[in-house]
Chains A and B, each alone.
Chain A
Amino acid sequence: MQNTLLKRLSIAAVGAGFLAAAASASLSGQAPRGGGAGGGVAAQGPAAPGAPAARGGGGGRGMPQGGRGPIKVLLITKGHPFERQQYWEMWDALGDDLTWTHIEHPAADIMMSPQYAKDYDVLAFYDLGGPGSPTVPRGGGPAPVIPEGSVITSNNRFYPPPSPELKKNFEALLKQGKGLVFLHHASAAWAHTWPEYSEVIGGACDWYAPTKVRGIDDPNMGYFGMTPQHITYVDKTHPITQGLGDGFDVVDEAYACHWFPDTFHMLATTDFKPADPTKNLNPKVQYSNATAWVKSAENSPVFYTEVGHGSTAWATPGYRALVRNAVKWAASKEALEWAKANPTKIFKASTN
């Protein structure tokens, strides 16, 4: 135990050093930036050497914020906080292959439709749609307005439902065919209120309340922060994993969530195993060590990986390579054709 803690601490310390270096480099990179064509003496050269564009500044030097690659990615967040700066930097680092545009819920709801998703090749989800809140706020304050149709759990949390427009539009989008990449906590989106959405991803999580998944009551799903794991590619021939070797080591949050292995094609497993899965999952549900997979959802190709909680994972080259390849695959004609040839019917009673 102590050994593991020490290991974790030293990894964190290395991480701290790395972040510190990055922070100081990027901040000093801002220093020479004086702006544009200000009239004056001693005009500075246009390119301050080595000045990264990541923080401040901008325009013209290096990789612009948002990237410049041919694949258009709409990156959807909100509902679960995260280390924003480091996350943006990871996406920028993929910027030779993709151009990404960030949008948050609830604005993102509108984009999850054939009409507005048409300008993007891939929708990448790092969101947690329909997050729960306590019905009685801790520390007092006015009671929250609980939207109609919310699910209220036995531990007094309420989960607002997706709007009818979102449900209708997203179903239409899936049937039309769109590359979808779901990352980490995105598997907890709408877990209480929109069972079809969990079927799209291939699993469901909620760490804060007992959750009914596929008609089974799971007590309280697990998350295990900063867990050293080895990720093993179990299919090394898929376009996403090809050339990535056997796998990679990563220190990241691991989950014990209710996955649906019957619905997906497994790409990778983790060697992490929760001490007592029955604390997290209904005894009828086996803990699954699947940590990355592909599947279809109606006519759309879907990728999910559990990895990607924080900056330690995002800075891991093996993780970046996995995300890069996943986006490239989801954007590809081959993936769309594969999904169309192997569709998964999800919406039984069509709302359209």
Chain B
Amino acid sequence: MGEAKPDEDIQKVKGKESKVKSMKKSINVCLALAGLVLASVGLTGQGQGQGQAPAQTPAAAGQGTGRQGGGGRGTPFQLPVAPFPNNMGQGGNGAIKVLFVSKGHDFDRDGLMTFFDQLGRDITWTHVEQPAAQVFYDQKNAAGFDVLAFYDAPGRAPRTVDGKTVFDDATPEAKVAFAQMLMAGKGLVFLHHSIAAWTHTWPEYQEVVGGACDWSNEIDYRKQHYPRSGAFGHTKQHVTIVEPASPIVAGLGDGYDIVDEAYACPYADDKTIHPLLRTDFVPQDPARNLGPKGKYSNLVGWYKSAENSPVVWIEHGHDTSAWANPAFQTLVVNSIRWAASPDAMAWAKKNPTKIFKNVKPLKPVKTSN
């Protein structure tokens, strides 16, 4: 909502203009406040009409889950007075350069962008959407960025071609370039529905992230077929820290509560990932989303390597309910700091995960900011 001209410049305006400006500014402040009030009313309203007792315990959450969401239904979610107190202005001005990738799954755009703004002391973020984002799979084009943060989910809209169902894929050049960028080493942070990106067309990408989801279509993952994944909106969960020594969970103690969409998807709950976070949410009927052979994993966060690159994935992040949660804010900023760090890069190089079999590495391009 902010007035577009920085304060320092407003002072330069003379006479009438400046009156209009400041009036406009105060109107905007009013609008912002009105927006906040409405937001909290609107979100509180979500709890109504579900006929559930308030303050359900997490253990009982499984009972009521279904399409209309999880156990958080009866608990009105309250926005804090100032959800994003450290807002540094659009784009931030921190030292870590982040390329923020989206498109392919709708979301509250300004809400998440405002969330990134409030990490602005640590990061400077630049938004790019698919399909343009594939240009930055190329390490030379991504050289200005320390970390790629993904909130995209391309390739999920099925089309029928010659009677067969097909999904959009990344371009062949982008796929090769992405593999080469990972071989050279780049920090990657995947949030929430980004685990569904390219899931129907690019099995190696599933291995980069460490799992696969699609809530609208059946999927194949590691040569096994799965039903449509589960998504349980506004689920109240308690999350336990699995590896407290990791810098990614620094400051979170032994766990936290969060109300957010929970997933039931096939995850690589094995040696290819390092578990960080586990939720107490359990879907009522896991077989419905994971098939008779599939096993529900309560992992909601891990780190891993992909080729020579450090990777973090956090399941949380559907909407403001998660974004305004201090634990989520801590997780994201820690993940970005870690993925950008020489330590993480050295760790990934020492513990690489070979994923792309038929791609030759290129000489690494140094990050240039």
A residues within 8 Å of B by Cβ?
5, 8-9, 12, 15-16, 19-20, 23-24, 27-28, 30-44, 53-60, 64-66, 74, 78, 80-85, 88, 101-107, 110-111, 116, 119, 134, 138, 185, 207-208, 220, 222-227, 275, 279, 309-310
Question: CB < 8 Å: which of A19, A35, A65 contacts B232?
Answer: A35
Q: How far is the CA of A58 from the CA of B157 in the complex (A)?
A: 12
Contact in complex: B66, A37 (CB < 8 Å): no
| A36 and B12 in contact, given A24-B42, A84-B110, A224-B17 (Cβ under 8 angstroms) | no
- Name the residue of chain A whose CB is nearest to the CB of B34: A20
Chain A residues whose C-beta falls within 8 Å of the C-beta of B103 in the assembled complex: 65-66, 101
Q: How far is the CB of B324 from chain A (nearest CB, A)?
A: 14
**Cβ of B250 under 8 Å from chain A:** no
Chain A residues whose C-beta falls within 8 Å of the C-beta of B27 in the assembled complex: 9, 12, 16
Contact in complex: B264, A38 (CB < 8 Å): yes
Chain A residues whose C-beta falls within 8 Å of the C-beta of B231 in the assembled complex: 34-38
Q: How far is the CB of A36 from chain B (nearest CB, A)?
A: 2
Contact in complex: B228, A37 (CB < 8 Å): yes
Question: CB < 8 Å: which of A30, A54, A227 contacts B319?
Answer: A30
Q: How far is the CA of A64 from the CA of B45 in the complex (A)?
A: 25
Contact in complex: A65, B106 (CB < 8 Å): yes
Chain A residues whose C-beta falls within 8 Å of the C-beta of B81 in the assembled complex: none
Q: How far is the CA of A232 from the CA of B184 in the complex (A)?
A: 56
Q: How far is the CB of B342 from chain A (nearest CB, A)?
A: 21
Question: CB < 8 Å: which of A31, A43, A116, A223 contacts B45?
Answer: A31
22 example contacts (A-B, Cβ-Cβ < 8 A) are as follows A8-B20, A27-B43, A31-B42, A34-B66, A34-B69, A36-B229, A37-B229, A38-B232, A39-B66, A39-B286, A39-B287, A55-B108, A59-B215, A59-B216, A60-B216, A65-B109, A85-B110, A105-B126, A107-B141, A119-B132, A224-B17, A226-B20
Q: How far is the CB of A128 from chain B (nearest CB, A)?
A: 10
Question: CB < 8 Å: which of A35, A37, A88, A208 contacts B261?
Answer: A35
Chain B residues whose C-beta falls within 8 Å of the C-beta of A30 in the assembled complex: 42, 46, 108, 319
Interface residues of B in 1-29 (CB under 8 A from A): 1-2, 4-5, 8-9, 12-14, 16-17, 20-21, 23-24, 27
Interface residues of B in 120-142 (CB under 8 A from A): 126-132, 135-136, 141
Q: How far is the CB of B14 from chain A (nearest CB, A)?
A: 7
Interface residues of B in 78-137 (CB under 8 A from A): 89-91, 99, 103, 105-111, 113, 126-132, 135-136
Chain A residues whose C-beta falls within 8 Å of the C-beta of B285 in the assembled complex: 39-40
Contact in complex: B4, A310 (CB < 8 Å): yes
Chain B residues whose C-beta falls within 8 Å of the C-beta of A279 in the assembled complex: 14
- Name the residue of chain B whose CB is nearest to the CB of A72: B131
Contact in complex: A16, B127 (CB < 8 Å): no
Closest 3 CB pairs of A and B: A36-B215, A58-B106, A40-B66
Q: How far is the CB of A306 from chain B (nearest CB, A)?
A: 14
Contact in complex: A43, B67 (CB < 8 Å): yes
Q: How far is the CB of A17 from chain B (nearest CB, A)?
A: 9
Contact in complex: B4, A102 (CB < 8 Å): no
**Cβ of B31 under 8 Å from chain A:** yes
Contact in complex: A107, B136 (CB < 8 Å): yes
Contact in complex: A102, B233 (CB < 8 Å): no
Q: How far is the CA of A102 from the CA of B42 in the complex (A)?
A: 28
| A20 and B38 in contact, given A43-B66, A56-B107, A85-B110 (Cβ under 8 angstroms) | yes
Q: How far is the CA of A81 from the CA of B17 in the complex (A)?
A: 19
Contact in complex: A38, B67 (CB < 8 Å): yes
Q: How far is the CA of A103 from the CA of B152 in the complex (A)?
A: 14
Most buried by B among A54, A222, A223: A223
Q: How far is the CA of A185 from the CA of B4 in the complex (A)?
A: 10
Chain A residues whose C-beta falls within 8 Å of the C-beta of B135 in the assembled complex: 110-111, 116
Q: How far is the CA of A103 from the CA of B254 in the complex (A)?
A: 39
Chain A residues whose C-beta falls within 8 Å of the C-beta of B156 in the assembled complex: 59
Known interface pairs A34-B67, A224-B17; 8 further A-B residue pairs with C-beta atoms within 8 A, sorted by A's residue number: A27-B39, A30-B319, A37-B227, A38-B283, A58-B107, A60-B216, A103-B128, A116-B132
| A224 and B20 in contact, given A16-B27, A101-B132, A207-B5 (Cβ under 8 angstroms) | yes
Q: How far is the CB of B39 from chain A (nearest CB, A)?
A: 6
Question: CB < 8 Å: which of B2, B111, B216, B287 contacts A81?
Answer: B2
Q: How far is the CA of A88 from the CA of B107 in the complex (A)?
A: 12
Most buried by A among B16, B127, B284: B127
**Cβ of B310 under 8 Å from chain A:** no
- Name the residue of chain B whose CB is nearest to the CB of A77: B127
Q: How far is the CB of B83 from chain A (nearest CB, A)?
A: 13
Q: How far is the CA of A24 from the CA of B106 in the complex (A)?
A: 18
Contact in complex: A39, B110 (CB < 8 Å): no
Q: How far is the CB of A34 from chain B (nearest CB, A)?
A: 4
Q: How far is the CA of A74 from the CA of B69 in the complex (A)?
A: 36
Chain A residues whose C-beta falls within 8 Å of the C-beta of B9 in the assembled complex: 207-208
Chain B residues whose C-beta falls within 8 Å of the C-beta of A101 in the assembled complex: 103, 129-132
Contact in complex: B4, A56 (CB < 8 Å): no
Q: How far is the CA of A134 from the CA of B113 in the complex (A)?
A: 25
Q: How far is the CA of A55 from the CA of B321 in the complex (A)?
A: 13
**Cβ of B362 under 8 Å from chain A:** no
- Name the residue of chain A whose CB is nearest to the CB of B284: A40
Chain A residues whose C-beta falls within 8 Å of the C-beta of B91 in the assembled complex: 78, 104
Contact in complex: A81, B65 (CB < 8 Å): no
Chain A residues whose C-beta falls within 8 Å of the C-beta of B228 in the assembled complex: 36-37
Interface residues of B in 268-322 (CB under 8 A from A): 283-289, 318-319
Chain A residues whose C-beta falls within 8 Å of the C-beta of B130 in the assembled complex: 101
**Cβ of B68 under 8 Å from chain A:** yes
- Name the residue of chain A whose CB is nearest to the CB of B285: A39
